[in-house]
Amino acid sequence: MTKCLDWGLFSGPQHRRIYVRSSDDSGGAWEAAEKNLKDRLAPSSLIDQVLLQLTSMRGSQFPWGHFSKLNHNSLGCDMLKFLICHIYSLTVLAGLLYMEKLSTTSTIQSFVFFGRNVSLPTIVFMARFMSTPILLTGLCASFEAMNSALAVLAHLTHPLLCRLGFPDVICEFADPVYYPPLFENVFAFNSLSEFWGKTWHQLFRRSFVVLGAFPLGGMARALGFSTQAQKMAGFVGAFMASGFMHAYPFFLMADPTTSHGNVSRLEIFCVFLCFVVQSLGALIEPILIPLIPKRLGGGRLWTISFLLLTLPLFSMATNKPARLFSIFKPLDEWSIHYLFLPAVLTPIVL
């Protein structure tokens, strides 16, 4: 739907760019590819465009991706990154599934905590709240493992496809240079804007702009608001689109056959609100960050504190039994295949 609106209502994002290596493979440069004229779009070209746009990591091959980042890693580096990310994501997934099993099957109703009896639901609530950073980094690792697996596959297939004389679009699709890391260093950020706009993955950036920023910004313009107010409305609209995209699949993933599978409207709203408040935090941070001493962390302290306080709106709702992780089999049903497949693929393949 996003691409239909994008190609039908807006101009510019359709043209493609390619990375041309130098003769000695020491570097290269971006060059404009063919212009995708809307009045002369052959079916084969449309298929090529859809294929490349859906697989262009961080939009590096199109103008909607403002990061022209490339993957210059060797096969060994990408393989090592896959192993590290896969092991970590699998460990986090197993731990969360075990916590889910404990909360639903344990017969122990209370624990002694600092000399006081604490009920099991309270312990589970605290665990879900404190596991937010682990869940966040686990999601990063699971998607990065999948991306690294694609990069490894591209390293292995690209030379063979080029030697066999496959079409350029197929060779370009399998070129490992177009599979850069999805995430930047998750500890290298100094503001919410930098975290969500650069550190976090940008796969759906254009979709959020088309479905959220353009409509809300256009509405503000039609109502006669100032240019600054239009930009602010569009900024909030992009995060609203992100909130809807996260809340709706969360509702679909829940298992209604269990006692915990009924997702209330309040919980869906909390997931949606989690992403909307990120935009509000990003709007007020230029005022707040200068007030935080740099010796205490400055913008990084602000960003980490804000994320730890707001992301539980998402993690605590999705971590409940029969919610986000209901698409995975219980731990006692795992097979040896889980050790080799990226976590994001196991619900589909196994």
Q: How many helices (H) and strands (E) does the chain have?
A: 14, 4
Question: How do the domains of the chain map onto residue ranges?
Answer: 2-59, 75-178, 192-319
Say how far apart CA 25 and CA 31 lie, in whole Å: 16
Q: What is the pTM of this model?
A: 0.80
pLDDT tens digits in sequence order for the chain, 350 residues long: 566 666 566 655 556 677 777 776 667 777 776 654 555 556 666 676 666 666 665 555 665 554 557 888 999 999 999 999 999 999 988 887 877 776 666 555 555 444 555 565 666 666 666 778 888 888 899 999 999 999 999 999 999 999 998 887 788 888 898 888 888 887 788 999 999 988 888 878 878 888 899 899 999 999 999 999 999 999 999 999 999 988 887 777 666 666 556 777 888 898 899 999 999 999 999 999 999 998 888 999 999 999 988 998 888 777 766 566 777 887 888 888 888 888 888 877 76
pLDDT at position 36 is: 46
Q: What pLDDT does 12 receive?
A: 54
Number of CB atoms found within 10 A of residue 74's CB: 11
Dihedral, CA of residue 262, residue 265, residue 267 and residue 270, to nearest 10: 160
**Bridge partners of 32?**
17
Q: Please compute, for residue 170, the number of CA atoms within 13 A of its CA located in the half-sphere on the CB side.
A: 11
Asked if 199 contacts 303 with a C-beta cutoff of 8 angstroms, the reply is no
